[in-house]
Amino acid sequence: MLSKKIYYVISSILLVLGIAITVQLDSQADEIQKEIAGEVIRFHVRANSNSEEDQQLKMGVKEEVILYLKNILAESDNIDETRRIMTEQIDILETIAKNYVVKQGYDYDIQIKLDKEYFPVKTYGDVTFPKGIYEALIIEIGAAKGNNWWCVIYPNLCFIDATYGYLPEESKEELKDVLTEEAYDSLTNEEVVVKLKILDVEW
């Protein structure tokens, strides 16, 4: 049998190795996330609450705003142009959202901003985005305490249907066009995705 001294030495070595591997994984995930974040803009709609009525209202607001965004962003072919257009149109987007809410019989306030926020690991179709700070167009309905709906507005992944759990190949090609091969692979590689989720809790 191993003496207690040898046992403690081996245990200490394994502990140090485990910590080193975890730190390395976290560092690699950090670098990948920063690259991805620099090339995408997200879109989030936060419901007033998790009641069935508020969640339905959230989806209605999303549909109205997406319809408008699809038209105004049709000719945008880079992230700077997308950012500029959305910044210029925020007041109109707020009016669209507010009019829909009022039409449904609610008097919730609507807040819209294009800002950078921290987001946890999040999956869209079969693509998983790592935790970190991202630029996002954010619509907050009322208290904004309910679950949110989200998509990627640049590249334009909001205008496709990810209901069946995967993104169409043409949408993935849009991601490939703006990301390095390593960053793109990290979004779709199941082994990498599992590692990312180990380092964070998905919401």
Helix (H, G, I), strand (E, B) or coil at 169: helix
Q: Rg of the chain over CA atoms, in angstroms?
A: 21
Predicted confidence at residue 162, as pLDDT, reads 54
Non-local (6+) Cβ contacts of 23 within 8 A are none
Residue 18 pLDDT greater than 70, yes or no: no
Predicted confidence at residue 160, as pLDDT, reads 67
CA max distance for the chain:
77
CA neighbor of 79 nearest in space, from 16, 20, 36: 36
Q: What is the DSSP letter of 130?
A: P
Q: What is the DSSP letter of 179?
A: S
Predicted confidence at residue 201, as pLDDT, reads 39
Residue 66 one-letter amino acid:
I
As a whole number of Å, the end-to-end CA separation of the chain is 46
Out of 69-73, 159-163, 169-173, pick the least confident.
159-163
Q: What is the mean pLDDT of residues 84-113?
A: 97
CB 152, CB 172: distance < 8 Å = no
**Tokens describing residue 103:** 């039409």
Q: What is the DSSP letter of 74?
A: T
Non-local (6+) Cβ contacts of 78 within 8 A are none
